Chain A
Amino acid sequence: MTEEIIIAGFGGQGVLSMGKILAYSGIMEGKEVSWMPSYGPEMRGGTANVTVIISDDRVCSPILNAFDTAVILNQQSLDKFEEKVKPGGVLLYDPNGITHKPTRTDIKIYTIEGAQLASDMGNAKVFNMIILGAYLKLKPIISMDKVKEGLEHSLPERAHKLIPLNMQAVEVGMNNVKEQ
């Protein structure tokens, strides 16, 4: 099994940390992983993306041009990465702020109202965990226990009290992913 994922959106949406939690959860599951961010003059409101690879085998190139799954959180990222999903692959996006919907017919397209659901939960910061939940519903490559362990390892001690809330957000994401 090799799953090659791009997560892309605005800086500040938790794109990189979602990737990190996913990668850590992969390690807890005993997989090989890599996490490669776009780096540089990134800032809140700018674009940010991260490539995560989770595999049973040693990861070769951490930098990719085609993905099994694209998790898209803004229009610029959709414009850039829709064409880079492998045929038969998955595109998951949050329709909030999307003006031009994806149009490909050779991939599976799903939506998750992450921003809306986070706002309903009363905490905008759990947005990325809702998205992670939606992703894991579509690609159940990591068990819930391991996601929890991944959170424990990637969050600092002082934030551990927020793990139950984050796990709840994952559940919400899992229950609300829809086909486009």
Chain B
Amino acid sequence: MGELKLMKGNEALAEAAIRYGCDAYYGYPITPQSEVIEYLMEQNPYERTGMVVLQAESEIAAINMVYAAGASGKRVMTSSSSPGVSLKQEGIAYIAGAEVPCVYSDVVRGGPGLGTIQPSQADYFQACKGGGNGDYKNIVLAPASVQEMADFVALGFELAFKYRMACCILSDGAIGQMMEKVVLPEQKPRMTEEEIKANYPWATTGRKRGTQHRVITSLDLDSVKMEAHNRHLQEKYRMVEENEVRFEEIDCEDAEYVFVAYGSSARIAQKSVQLARTEGLKVGLLRPITLFPFPTKAIQNLIDRGTKGFLAVELSCGQMIEDVKLAVNGRVKAEHFGRVGGIIHTPEEVLEAMKKQIIGE
């Protein structure tokens, strides 16, 4: 077993990056996730593993550094919070088009615009449905604990390199700021240049005489080639949907009514499940761990097993509910409940909403 510590979500993510053998972090501070770059700077990762940590002049610069370093086969990451991630969207779309693997953490705060620094889940659309231009997807992981903030760094890099995609770790101010017990992984070595050359034939590792150029770009003016490239990307996304869905079911075996909630909302809904069970209500929780790919089949299976209604609980005005409704496809009731603007729903009001909107009389 690794080392047991009490850490903030942001710090756990940063430490996990060093221990995973991440090659570089490029970022720009913003509340509520400035601890990521602060922690990395304090830890002298260049001395520990040779990892580069650099505060860029802006979010836009940081994401383009990620684009370039990722193109050379390095394990690179960035992190920001909502308005900062908005600035990064151009780079993220380029990364998707050019198929560059990377990890970025988005510790969501309330919006739109500068909004508030308090927790929110109102960037589900931005993370899961594009955000930048073009037909693309990112893999989106939704940690619900400090432990998962640490664990999803390794998972994120594995998926990013397996599919040559950006992987977003989508949390919020609550998960980023809270401290919990965390078991940290062992230190892994960074990949050597030779390993990168051997493992990633697409990476721009320097051209030798007599070999072909390796081109990393999102641009192709030939429409026929561009259509083929788009088809290829879509095939890849279908493979991700086929193979990489992750979710957790809590008290779902006999559940007549099920909350669907991720991240901090899942923590709150879990308490609502406990409250419901003490009242004798058969309520469960489906927690999507991957938001893209979304656990569509898990919802359909629950309906097949007798679930009569779903309540999507989100810190937003209703975003994930669209995916829940697509999965439910009109077979049973599916509705949304959420607080916004940095206010966090209480377990009691979440249960109340389930009773009122789904269970009824």
Contact surface of A with B, Cβ cutoff 8 Å? 20, 23-24, 27, 32-37, 39-41, 59-65, 153-154
Contacts and interface: CB of A to CB of B under 8 A. Distances in A.
A36 B344 CA distance: 13
A60 B174 contact: no
Contacts of A60: 267-268, 270-271, 274, 347
A27 to B, nearest CB: 6
Interface stretch (B85-93, B96-104, B129-137, B178-186): B178-186
Contacts of B347: 60-61
Q: Which of A33, A35, A153 has the most CB of B within 10 A?
A: A35
B118 interface: yes
A36 B117 CA distance: 15
Interface of B: 4, 6, 31-32, 117-118, 173-174, 177-181, 264, 267-268, 270-271, 274, 344, 346-348
A6 to B, nearest CB: 14
B271 A34 contact: no
B135 to A, nearest CB: 37
Contacts of A23: 6, 179
Nearest to B346: A65
Given A27-B6, A39-B31, A63 B180 contact: no
Given A20-B179, A33-B6, A61-B347, A39 B267 contact: no
A64 B6 CA distance: 20
A9 B348 CA distance: 26
A109 B142 CA distance: 41
Contacts of B346: 64-65
B179 A61 contact: no
**A23, A41, A59, A61: residue with the most chain B Cβ atoms closer than 10 Å:** A61
Given A20-B6, A27-B4, A27-B6, A37 B348 contact: no
A142 to B, nearest CB: 14
A39 B34 CA distance: 12
Given A33-B181, A63-B344, A65-B346, A40 B6 contact: no
Given A60-B268, A60-B274, A61-B267, 7 more contacts: A27-B4, A34-B180, A35-B180, A39-B173, A39-B177, A60-B271, A62-B178
29 contacts: A20-B179, A23-B6, A27-B6, A32-B181, A33-B179, A33-B180, A34-B178, A34-B180, A35-B6, A35-B179, A36-B174, A36-B177, A37-B178, A39-B31, A39-B32, A39-B117, A39-B177, A40-B118, A41-B117, A60-B270, A61-B268, A61-B271, A61-B347, A62-B264, A62-B267, A63-B174, A65-B348, A153-B6, A154-B6
A89 B308 CA distance: 38
Please list the 7 inter-chain residue pairs (A to B) with the smallest Cβ-Cβ separation, ordered nearest first.
A60-B271, A35-B179, A60-B270, A36-B178, A65-B346, A61-B271, A61-B268
Contacts of A153: 6
Nearest to B180: A34
A27 B180 CA distance: 9
Nearest to A154: B6
A154 B8 CA distance: 13
A153 B271 CA distance: 30
Contacts of A34: 178-180
B181 A27 contact: yes
A111 to B, nearest CB: 29
A65 B173 CA distance: 18
A65 B179 CA distance: 18
A43 to B, nearest CB: 13
Contacts of A63: 174, 264, 268, 344
A110 B292 CA distance: 51
A24 B32 CA distance: 23
B259 to A, nearest CB: 12
